[in-house]
Structure 1
Amino acid sequence: MKNHAHSSTVTRLDRSRHAAPQVFERLREMILSLELTPGTVLSRTELANRYGLSQTPVRDALMKLGEEGLVDIYPQHATVVSQINVTSALQAHFLRRSIELEVVRTLAEQRNAALIAQLRETIARQTELLDLKNYEQFSLLDQAFHRQMYEAAGVPQLWDLVRRLSGHIDRLRRLHLPVEGKTMAVVRDHAEIIDAIEHGDVEAAQAALRKHLSGTLNQIDQIRTSHPNFLADG
């Protein structure tokens, strides 16, 4: 265990919504972006003070993060941001690849011009970020690209399922994103997927998707070398 997450500033929540889901969403985002790195101790008292809450909604948020494997909860002791579990990452990848191969098949058979234009716009926005090294916004657009495909294929709830199970592989991808050439490869892969969908070429769309989703997993050894304390085999 290492540093605590400190903040003396009270973070305002939307009082029209329940507090626990908002705390969960904010902490999850901070963990996935690596603002809260593996090993960071999360104090229930400090979090309650930060969000201006009692400890009950904070406890509920931490328990939900624990269910996703993003924190380790030691009763009566501490809650710690978990290491990135490689086994969990591999299983999340398997699930996502299995679903998205069928998603791109469906889209290639449909060849929806409005969707293709929407996806190209997302790619264009990602391209604008390449020189800015704005990895956070780039990641959000990456998620938007894939979510748009799920929605167009008529399976938006499967996107929600994949997101819930992808915390470990999302953190691996976030570690990999700053590597030279990675963001450009993501944009290139997205363009190849859309080109194949536009041409109705199912095999090409699936091949481009397989290559796209495997990029980070092919670099696990290098990521482990660069961040030895962040990864666990599980």
Structure 2
Amino acid sequence: MPIKIVEKREKENNREYAYRLLRHNIMTLQLLPGTTLNEGELTDLLSISRTPIHEAILMLKEETLVDVYPQSGSRVSLIHIDILKEGYFLRSVIEPEIIRQLAGNVPGEKMECLKQNLDRQKEALHAEDKIDSFFKLDDKFHHLIYSAAGKDITWYAVKKVSSHYDRVRYLDAIVNQTDLEGILMEHKDIAHILLLGMTADFDLKHFYDRHLGTYRKHFQGILEEYPGYFHM
């Protein structure tokens, strides 16, 4: 089974470890859509018992990232177009409103966290694993915005719904070499709005549709090249 092993964190129990590792491998397409998850093989790979692995798989099932078939096992879910659209819709509605509310009113310490994140995004562009590194920081950047608005619970809810959207973005980055530097520049524009506010004629919805929809430029080509990854 093609899987990237990561170290277990301090105080992380076996179920949490298995969940984090499997989810990361699914989201980064190390485990491709449709891949069978063999609990016995995972037990050997992770050197933990079968029960926490089974529990982790059930948690991923709740996030629509794994399909569980009684008596026949589990597999990584295909990317569902309808779920992808819902994830995109949710983010495109919620995030511009959060930014509108925060514009020009973000506390200094929160802006400093955003600035540090942007600096790390710039460094990630030159990392050996730049796609993985950049998208982790991309996620953190947007989480910081939700957190600045006191919307951490909303962020975690959005992330669960947008998992299929996130997988398509990652696939697009691998296949089509997404312009990560362009995404960074848009993040800088967002930080500028949060720091100084925005003019009355600024079309935030149009800006955010473009920012979240970078994958759409090549989406039809991805569907045609990888039809087995998708559920229509």
Deviation at 1:199, TM superposition (A): 2.6
Deviation at 1:109, TM superposition (A): 4.4
Mapped pair 1:83 → 2:82: no
2-side partners of 1:13 and 1:118: how far apart?
Answer: 26
Quickly say closer, same or farther: Cα 1:14–1:215, change in 2 above 3 A: closer
Q: Could you tell which deviates more after superposition, 115-124 or 101-110?
A: 115-124
Equivalent residue for 1:20?
15
1-side partners of 2:24 and 2:102: how far apart?
Answer: 30
Q: Provide TM-score, normalisation by structure 2.
A: 0.87
Choose from 191, 215, 223 the match for 1:194.
191
Equivalent residue for 1:43?
38
In 2, are the aligned partners of 1:24 and 1:62 still within 8 Å (CA)?
yes
In 2, are the aligned partners of 1:147 and 1:156 still within 8 Å (CA)?
yes
Cα RMSD (Å) of the superposition? 2.4
Q: Which residue type is aligned with residue 225 of structure 1?
A: E
Gaps of 5+ in 2: none
Equivalent residue for 2:167?
171
Equivalent residue for 2:24?
29
Q: Could you tell which deviates more after superposition, 79-88 or 190-199?
A: 190-199
Quickly say closer, same or farther: Cα 1:75–1:87, change in 2 above 3 A: same
2-side partners of 1:197 and 1:14: how far apart?
Answer: 34
Q: Provide TM-score, normalisation by structure 1.
A: 0.86
Q: Could you tell which deviates more after superposition, 100-109 or 127-136?
A: 127-136
The 5 A counterparts of 1:101-140 are: 101-132=96-127, 134-140=130-136
Residue 26 of structure 1: SS of its match in structure 2? Answer: helix
Q: Which residue type is aligned with residue 45 of structure 1?
A: G
Q: Could you tell which deviates more after superposition, 52-61 or 87-96?
A: 52-61
1-side partners of 2:211 and 2:189: how far apart?
Answer: 9
Deviation at 1:220, TM superposition (A): 1.9
Residue 110 of structure 1: SS of its match in structure 2? Answer: coil
The 5 A counterparts of 1:199-218 are: 199-201=196-198, 203-218=202-217
Quickly say closer, same or farther: Cα 1:228–1:34, change in 2 above 3 A: same
Gaps of 5+ in 1: none
Quickly say closer, same or farther: Cα 1:227–1:109, change in 2 above 3 A: same
In 1, are the aligned partners of 2:3 and 2:25 still within 8 Å (CA)?
no
Deviation at 1:137, TM superposition (A): 0.5
Deviation at 1:205, TM superposition (A): 4.6
Equivalent residue for 2:153?
157
Quickly say closer, same or farther: Cα 1:56–1:210, change in 2 above 3 A: same
Deviation at 1:94, TM superposition (A): 1.1
Residue 177 of structure 1: SS of its match in structure 2? Answer: helix
Deviation at 1:5, TM superposition (A): 4.4
2-side partners of 1:29 and 1:173: how far apart?
Answer: 14
In 1, are the aligned partners of 2:38 and 2:73 still within 8 Å (CA)?
yes
Q: Could you tell which deviates more after superposition, 69-78 or 29-38?
A: 69-78
**What do the CA deviations read for 1:184-207 (whole angstroms, capped 9, x no partner)?**
221121122122222311745554
2-side partners of 1:131 and 1:21: how far apart?
Answer: 31
